[in-house]
Amino acid sequence: MVDRNKIQIDLVKLAGGERLLRMTESLSGLSLEKKLDPQKSVASQKDKLLGVFNAALTQAELTTA
C-alpha cells in the first residue's frame, strides 16, 4: 500500500536557468517530472502535477491489486 504522505517533491534548477518539478514515491517506484512554466505560479503547477501524480498512483494500485 502506497503512503501518500511520503511523496518526495523536488524543485530542480537546470543549468540553463529552467526549473523542473519532480515527484517520487519510493515504494511504487513512480516518478513524474515536469518543466515549469516561468509565467505561472509554482504553487498552481505543483497542485496540478500532484493531482496527476495521485491519479497515476491510484491507477498503479488498481493494476497491482
pLDDT of the residue at 14 = 95
C-alpha cell of residue 11: 524543485
Residues 6+ apart with CB under 8 A from 35: 18, 19, 20
pLDDT digits (tens, 9 = 90+) for 14-47: 999 999 999 999 888 899 999 999 999 999 999 9
* Interatomic CA distance for residues 27 and 13, integer angstroms: 26
32 close to 53: Cβ distance less than 8 angstroms: yes
pLDDT of the residue at 5 = 80
Q: Span 6-64: which CATH code?
A: 3.30.160
Domain boundaries, the chain: 6-64
* pTM of model > 0.85: no
pLDDT of the residue at 65 = 62
C-alpha angle 31-13-35 in degrees, rounded to nearest 5: 55
